[in-house]
Every structure is written in structure tokens, then in C-alpha cells.
Amino acid sequence: HLRKKYLHGHMHSHERSGLEIPVIIHRAIYGSFERFIAILTEHLLGKWPFWLSPRQIAVVPVAPQYAEYAQTVGRTMSDAGYWCDVDDSRDRLNKKILKAQTSQYNFILVVGEKEQENKTVNIRTRDNKEHGEKSIEETLQWFTQLKETYQ
């Protein structure tokens, strides 16, 4: 009915193809999806579960001399299929960690001299809970388990 009513005054003639009829695309599905995402974001307060989060991992070097190791860890996490950012800014360590927490990264991997020597990372969450030092392999296994169990 709407199409007939609309077409009454909106049909156009075209030199080659004759009469052209406009097509109406109903966009309610997009609006519904946008509302769903808005409600979900509000409900979660931006704290997305790990498997769905757009900010899964932040790697934070304790000092500039560990930035290269932080980049290596970041590449390893990205290559494994995770969203990972490395904060190699000149900010102080506490500010980098606070920035990652307020940006709602699920995990913050802190790396320094000890972690570089042992090929490990020191893990903390956005809620400032420390999980201690784990090897990169152990960390990847843990993240894979979280992702596969939708946590």
C-alpha cells in the first residue's frame, strides 16, 4: 500500500530504460540493532566480556627501554587474533595503567626487565586485580579458554 501511494507522484522517465520505479528500503532492522547495542553497552557499563571486547589487551612497558619487548608481546597477541594495543608513550607507569583501566581494556600486560628476561608478562585486569607473572604461552592459553567459553 505504501509503495503504491509513494509511486503515484514519484515515477520518473528515463531516456534509455523508459519508466523507472524507485525502490523503498525499510531500515528498521538497523535501528533495532543500534538500540540493542546501546542498551547492551549501557547495561555492561562499557565493560565488555573478553570475547566481545573491542579493547581486549593493553601492553604497558615500565620504561622506554622495554618498549621493544612490549611491541613483540603486542604483535604476538595480535597474531593470535586478539585486539591489542601497546602504550609506548612517555607517560609514567601509573598513568599508563590508569589510562588502560579507564579505557576498559580487559587485561593490562605490564612488562619490564624481569618479564623481558623470563619471556613473561605481569597480568592485571581493568578492576586492578593482579594475576601475577605468566609466560606468554600460558597467557595465550588462558585467553583462548576465556574466548572459547564466552567469558
pLDDT > 90? residue 55: yes
Selection from 131, 105, 128, 106 nearest residue 120 by Cα: 131
Q: Which residues of 81-108 are buried (b: 16+ CB within 10 A; e: fewer)?
A: ebebbbbbeeeeeeebbebbbeebbbbb
| Bridge partners for 135 per DSSP | 120
Say what the pLDDT of residue 26 is. 61
pLDDT in tens, 113-146: 999 999 999 999 999 999 999 999 999 999 999 9
Say what the pLDDT of residue 69 is. 98
Higher pLDDT, 94 or 37: 94
SS (H, E, C) the chain: CHHHHHHCCCCEEECCCEEECCCCCCCHHHHHHHHHHHHHHHHHCCCCCCCCCCCCEEEEECCHHHHHHHHHHHHHHHHCCCCEEECCCCCCHHHHHHHHHHCCCCEEEEECHHHHHHCEEEEEECCCCEEEEEEHHHHHHHHHHHHHCCC
- The mean of the pLDDT values for the chain is 88
Distance CA 79, CA 74 (A): 8
Please, which pLDDT band fits residue 19 given cuts at 50, 70 and 90? low
pTM summary value: 0.78
Quote the DSSP letter at residue 105: -
